[in-house]
C-alpha cells in the first residue's frame, strides 16, 4: 500500500498536479482538518521498504451513512480535491463508487444548507474515482493479483518452512491455519509452495467422507518414508454441507485415526506483517502510475475504473463489475454452488488446484497413463542455479510417477552425463522436501551438449529416453537448439524435448518470466534496503549497486522500481558522459532538497554489462569527484547473493504449474521417431506470455526472436517500464519540490 501511495504522489506531481494523502481512511475524509495533508516529493521517500500503511486505515461507520459522506464531500472541496484514488477491498471500493454517484447531490445539499458557496463548488462538479485493490486474500475478481497477496504468501511460506524443520525433526504433524474467509488462494498457493500433504479451501470443499481420504493420503506418504505432515486450512474452509472445517477438528482426526503427534499453528496477523515483497512493490508502483493516468483521462461519463493486472499487463476494469463478481463467489459458496465459485475465480486458480492434486497423490490409479503411453523422461539442469529449479524438478518427477512414467535425473549437466554416467532414477521420497530448497539438488552446468554430442546421444540411446525436460537459462535454451539440430545425425534425439526457463536474468526467448527471477529480485531488494538504510544513516551518501543479469537489464530495471532507485543503467540503453553529468546534477539537486531529512540515502543500480568503460567503481569515483564534498559515494556488489537462498513463493508455484505442463507436453508429443523428426514443434520452450502458458517451437524462436550476441530476446515487455523508473526517481527533469 505504501508503494501505491508513493507512486500516486510522485506521478501526480510529475504530471503537474497537487497530491494529497487522506490519513486514517474514510475516517480522515469525514473528519477532515489535519487528516487531509498536501504531499510533496520528499514526503514519500523511503516508503517502498515500509510495511503496513503509513497514512493509516480505519473502518468508518459514519461514511456508510449519507451524513458522513456529506461531511466528506465538504472536506474535499475545502481542500481543493477533485479526484480520489482508493486502495482497499471490495467494501472500500463500493463506498467510493457510491460517493461518486452521490457527488452532484451532495454538493447541491451543501450549497442549500449554506455549508459551501456555489462559487466554491463550481470547480468541483465531478469527482473522479479510481480503485486499487489492496487485499492479502487475492479475492477480487477481474484481476490476477491484488496488492499485498504475494507478500502475505511470503510470510506464510516462511512460517511453514520453519515449522517444516521442527516437524521433520520430531516426525510430527502440523495443522496450519491461514487467512481466507471466502477465498482459498493463500491456502492453495501455500500448499503448492511448501509441498503440504492436504489443503482445505472454501471454494473447493473436499468430497464426502473426506476424513478417510485425508488419512489415506497421509498414511501413504508416511509409509513411503515421509517423516513430517503439513496440513493447511483456510479460515473459511467448509465441507459440502457448509459446516466449518476447523484446525482443531483436523488435528483430532490425525491424532485419533493416525496416532500422529499433531500441533496447531494459527498464523493470524503475522500474515499482514513485514515489508512488501518485490512483486507487490512492482505491482503497486505500476498500478499507482496507471491510476493517475486514469484520473487525468476520466470524463463525467467514464465508469469508475479499477486498476487490474491481466495478461501481465496493467489494465482498467469497471470497478463495480469486479465488486459484483467478487461478491458472487461468496453467494455461490452460500448456495453450495462450488463449481460456480471456482469458475468465478481466475482461470489459473483451477489450474493450480489440479497441479497441486496431481503432485500430491502419486498412487492415484485413475490418473495413470495407458501402458503403451508410459515414458522414460530425463530431467537435466543447464546453466547457473536459479530459485525454483528444485521445485520444478520435484513437480515434474511426482507428476511423472502419478502418471506411471519413470523420471530420471541427469546429475551435473551434460558433462556429468558423458564423463560420469550420472543418470539416477527419481522416486517420490527422493524429491520430497525439494520444493523449498534453493540451488540445484541434481547439480547444474553451463556446458553444452555439442562438446561431445556423440556421447550424449549414446547415453540417451542406452537409457532409452522417450522425452527430455531441460530446466535452466539461456544455456538450456541454447542446448535445446543444438539437440534439435542434431536430430539429423542422431536418432536418439528424435524424442519430444522441452525447455523450462529458469534464470535470474530473465533473458530466455519465448517467455516473459523465467523461474528464479522473482527470487533474485527479492534477494536484491533485501540487500538494497539494507544498503539504503546505511546510506540514510550516513545522511549524504549514494551507493552504486552492481546487479547481475548478463546483457539483460531486467533485474536492474525491476529492482529500480522496487527500491526507488534514483537511476538505473542497463545494457539496452548503455552509459555515456552526458547521462552521468545529468545524473550527478540531479544528485546535487536531490541532496539540496533533502534539507536534513531522514531516509536521505540514494541508490543507483548498474547492470554488470551496462558498459565496458564506465564500471561500477569508476561511476562511484566520478560521483565522488564531482560532489565536491557535498555528498559521497560508495560501491556495493551483492554478486551471487542475488541467486537467493530459499526460493520465493511465486517462483515455487510457477515452477509447479510449468513443470506439470512440460510433462503433459512430452506426453502429447510421444510419437514414432520418424514423426517426431518431421515435426519441429516437438522441440519447444514453455513460456508465460500474457496470462497464458504457451509452447513456442525452437525453430520459431532461434531466428527472428533471439539476439544471440547479447544472449537475450530481441523484444522485452519490461523495456516500457524504464520511463516510470526515471519519473518516480525524479530523473529527466521531473519536478522534485
179 assigned ligand-binding residue: yes
- Which among 481, 457, 639, 628 is positioned nearest to 545, based on CA atoms? 639
Instruction: Examine the residue annotation and report whether 137 is marked as an active-site residue of this protein.
Output: yes
271 assigned ligand-binding residue: yes
541 assigned ligand-binding residue: yes
- Which among 196, 178, 198 is positioned nearest to 187, based on CA atoms? 178
216 assigned ligand-binding residue: no
182 assigned ligand-binding residue: no
List, as one string, the DSSP characters of 212-248.
HHHHHHHHHHHHTT---EEEEEETT-B-TTS-B--HH
Tell me which of 82, 97, 137, 594 is the catalytic residue. 137
Contacts of 200 (CB under 8 A, 6+ apart): 184, 187, 206, 231, 232, 233, 234, 237, 245, 250
CA distance 141 to 143: 6
641 assigned ligand-binding residue: yes
549 assigned ligand-binding residue: yes
Contacts of 462 (CB under 8 A, 6+ apart): none
End-to-end CA distance of the chain: 23
Strand 313-318 and strand 305-310: the pairing is antiparallel
92 assigned ligand-binding residue: yes
608 assigned ligand-binding residue: yes
Q: Where are the alpha helices (DSSP H) in 298-439?
A: 319-334, 338-344, 347-358, 389-403, 413-420
520 assigned ligand-binding residue: no
Do residues 641 and 523 make contact, with C-beta atoms less than 8 angstroms apart? yes
506 assigned ligand-binding residue: yes
599 assigned ligand-binding residue: no
- Total number of residues shown for the chain: 737
507 assigned ligand-binding residue: yes
Tell me the CA distances in angstroms from 571 to 518, 561, 677, 703, 721, one per residue in order.
20, 17, 38, 21, 15
Contacts of 363 (CB under 8 A, 6+ apart): 220
Do residues 357 and 392 make contact, with C-beta atoms less than 8 angstroms apart? no
Contacts of 199 (CB under 8 A, 6+ apart): 184, 187, 188, 190, 191, 231, 232, 233, 234, 356
Do residues 193 and 213 make contact, with C-beta atoms less than 8 angstroms apart? no
270 assigned ligand-binding residue: yes
C-alpha cell at 728: 518516480
C-alpha cell at 598: 531522514
91 assigned ligand-binding residue: yes
711 assigned ligand-binding residue: yes
- Residue 696 sits at the vertex; the CA angle it makes with 694 and 701, to the nearest 5 degrees, is 140
240 assigned ligand-binding residue: no
60 assigned ligand-binding residue: yes
C-alpha cell at 390: 528444485
102 assigned ligand-binding residue: no
CA distance 730 to 565: 10
CA distance 603 to 568: 9
446 assigned ligand-binding residue: yes
The Cβ of residue 450 has, within 10 Å, a number of other Cβ atoms equal to 15
548 assigned ligand-binding residue: yes
Query: Which residue spans within 120-255 are E strands per DSSP?
Result: 128-133, 173-178, 198-200, 229-234
235 assigned ligand-binding residue: yes
640 assigned ligand-binding residue: yes
552 assigned ligand-binding residue: no
634 assigned ligand-binding residue: yes
Tell me the CA distances in angstroms from 282 to 6, 131, 142, 179, one per residue in order.
12, 17, 19, 23
703 assigned ligand-binding residue: no
550 assigned ligand-binding residue: yes
Helix (H, G, I), strand (E, B) or coil at 513: coil
**H or E element: which one contains 623?**
helix 616-627
CA Rg, the chain, in Å? Answer: 27
Q: DSSP secondary-structure letter at 362?
A: T
Crossing angle of helices 278-297 and 722-729, rounded to 10°:
80
643 assigned ligand-binding residue: yes
CA distance 545 to 550: 15
CA distance 310 to 313: 5
Q: Can you say which residues are annotated as belonging to the binding site for substrate?
A: 135-137, 172, 179-181, 235, 263, 269-272
Q: Can you say which residues are annotated as belonging to the binding site for Mg(2+)?
A: 90
Q: Can you say which residues are annotated as belonging to the binding site?
A: 59-60, 89-92, 135-137, 172, 179-181, 235, 263, 269-272, 446, 503-507, 541, 548-550, 608, 634, 640-643, 711
Q: Can you say which residues are annotated as belonging to the binding site for beta-D-fructose 2,6-bisphosphate?
A: 446, 503-507, 541, 548-550, 608, 634, 640-643, 711
Q: Can you say which residues are annotated as belonging to the binding site for ATP?
A: 59-60, 89-92
The residues assigned a catalytic role are 137
Amino acid at each position: 500500500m505504501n508503494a501505491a501511495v508513493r507512486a500516486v504522489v510522485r506521478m501526480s506531481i510529475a504530471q503537474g498536479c497537487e497530491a494529497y494523502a487522506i490519513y486514517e481512511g474514510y475516517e480522515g475524509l469525514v473528519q477532515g482538518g489535519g487528516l487531509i495533508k498536501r504531499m510533496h516529493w520528499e514526503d514519500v521517500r523511503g516508503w517502498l521498504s515500509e510495511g503496513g500503511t503509513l497514512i493509516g486505515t480505519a473502518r468508518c461507520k459514519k461514511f456508510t451513512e449519507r451524513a458522513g459522506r456529506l461531511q466528506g464531500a465538504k472536506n474535499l472541496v475545502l481542500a481543493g480535491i477533485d479526484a480520489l484514488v482508493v486502495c482497499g477491498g471490495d467494501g472500500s471500493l463500493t463506498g467510493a463508487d457510491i460517493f461518486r454517484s452521490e457527488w452532484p447531490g451532495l454538493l447541491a445539499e451543501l450549497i442549500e444548507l449554506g455549508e459551501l458557496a456555489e462559487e466554491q463548488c463550481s470547480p468541483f462538479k465531478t469527482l473522479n474515482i479510481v480503485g486499487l485493490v489492496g487485499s492479502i486474500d487475492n479475492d477480487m475478481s477481474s484481476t490476477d493479483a491484488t496488492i499485498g497477496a504475494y507478500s502475505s504468501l511470503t510470510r506464510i511460506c516462511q512460517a511453514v518452512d520453519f515449522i517444516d524443520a521442527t516437524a521433520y525433526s520430531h516426525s510430527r504433524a502440523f495443522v496450519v491455519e491461514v487467512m481466507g474467509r471466502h477465498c482459498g488462494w493463500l491456502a492453495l498457493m501455500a500448499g503448492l509452495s511448501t509441498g503440504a500433504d492436504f489443503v482445505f479451501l472454501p471454494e473447493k470443499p473436499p468430497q464426502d467422507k473426506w476424513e478417510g481420504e485425508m488419512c489415506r493420503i497421509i498414511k501413504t506418504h508416511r509409509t513411503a518414508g515421509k517423516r513430517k505432515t503439513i496440513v493447511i486450512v483456510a479460515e473459511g474452509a467448509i465441507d459440502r454441507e457448509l459446516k466449518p472445517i476447523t484446525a482443531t477438528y483436523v488435528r483430532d482426526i490425525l491424532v485419533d485415526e493416525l496416532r500422529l503427534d499433531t500441533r496447531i499453528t494459527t498464523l493470524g496477523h503475522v500474515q499482514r506483517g513485514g515489508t512488501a515483497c518485490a512483486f507487490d512493490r512492482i505491482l503497486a508502483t505500476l498500478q499507482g502510475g496507471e491510476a493517475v493516468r486514469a484520473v487525468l483521462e476520466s470524463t463525467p461519463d467514464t465508469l469508475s475504473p479499477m486498476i487490474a493486472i491481466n495478461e501481465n499487463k496493467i489494465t482498467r476494469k469497471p470497478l463495480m463489475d469486479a465488486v459484483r463478481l467478487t461478491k458472487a463467489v461468496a453467494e455461490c459458496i452460500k448456495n453450495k454452488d462450488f463449481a460456480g465459485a471456482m469458475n468465478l475465480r481466475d482461470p489459473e486458480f483451477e489450474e493450480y488446484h489440479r497441479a497441486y492434486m496431481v503432485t500430491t497423490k502419486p498412487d492415484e490409479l485413475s490418473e495413470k497413463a495407458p501402458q503403451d503411453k508410459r515414458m522414460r523422461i530425463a530431467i537435466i539442469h543447464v546453466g547457473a542455479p536459479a530459485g525454483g529449479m528444485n521445485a520444478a524438478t520435484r513437480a515434474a518427477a511426482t507428476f511423472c510417477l502419478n502418471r506411471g512414467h519413470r523420471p530420471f535425473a541427469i546429475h551435473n549437466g551434460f558433462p556429468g552425463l558423458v564423463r560420469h554416467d550420472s543418470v539416477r532414477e527419481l522416486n517420490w521420497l527422493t524429491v520430497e522436501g525439494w520444493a523449498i530448497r534453493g540451488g540445484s539438488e541434481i547439480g547444474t552446468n553451463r556446458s553444452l551438449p555439442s562438446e561431445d554430442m556423440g556421447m550424449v546421444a549414446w547415453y540417451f540411446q542406452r537409457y532409452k529416453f522417450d522425452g527430455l525436460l531441460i530446466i535452466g537459462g539461456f544455456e538450456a535454451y541454447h542446448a535445446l537448439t543444438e539437440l534439435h539440430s542434431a536430430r539429423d545425425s542422431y536418432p536418439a534425439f528424435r524424442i519430444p524435448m522441452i525447455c523450462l526457463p529458469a534464470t535470474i536474468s530473465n533473458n530466455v526467448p519465448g517467455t516473459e518470466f523465467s523461474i528464479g527471477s522473482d527470487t533474485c529480485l527479492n534477494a536484491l531488494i533485501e540487500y538494497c534496503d539494507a544498503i539504503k538504510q546505511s546510506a540514510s544513516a550516513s545522511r549524504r551518501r549514494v551507493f552504486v549497486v552492481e546487479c547481475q543479469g548478463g546483457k539483460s537489464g531486467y533485474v536492474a530495471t525491476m529492482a529500480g522500481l522496487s527500491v526507488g532507485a534514483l537511476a538505473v543503467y542497463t545494457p539496452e540503453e548503455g552509459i555515456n558522459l552526458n547521462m552521468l553529468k545529468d545524473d550527478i546534477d540531479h544528485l546535487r539537486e536531490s541532496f539540496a532538497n533533502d534539507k536534513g531529512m531522514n531516509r536521505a540515502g540514494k541508490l543507483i543500480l548498474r547492470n554488470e554489462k551496462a558498459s565496458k568503460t564506465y564500471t561500477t567503481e569508476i561511476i562511484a569515483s566520478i560521483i565522488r569527484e564531482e560532489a565536491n564534498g557535498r555528498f559521497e559515494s560508495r560501491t556495493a556488489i551483492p554478486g551471487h547473493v542475488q541467486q537467493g537462498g530459499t526460493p520465493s513463493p511465486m517462483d515455487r508455484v510457477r515452477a509447479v504449474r510449468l513443470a506439470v505442463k512440460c510433462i503433459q507436453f512430452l506426453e502429447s508429443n510421444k510419437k514414432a521417431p520418424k514423426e517426431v523428426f518431421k515435426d519441429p514443434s516437438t522441440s519447444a520452450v514453455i513460456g508465460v506470455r500474457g496470462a497464458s502458458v504457451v509452447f513456442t517451437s525452437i525453430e520459431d524462436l532461434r531466428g527472428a526472436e533471439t539476439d544471440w550476441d547479447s544472449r537475450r530476446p530481441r523484444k522485452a515487455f519490461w523495456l516500457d517500464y524504464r520511463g516510470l523508473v526515471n519519473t518516480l526517481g525524479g530523473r529527466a527533469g521531473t519536478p522534485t519540490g
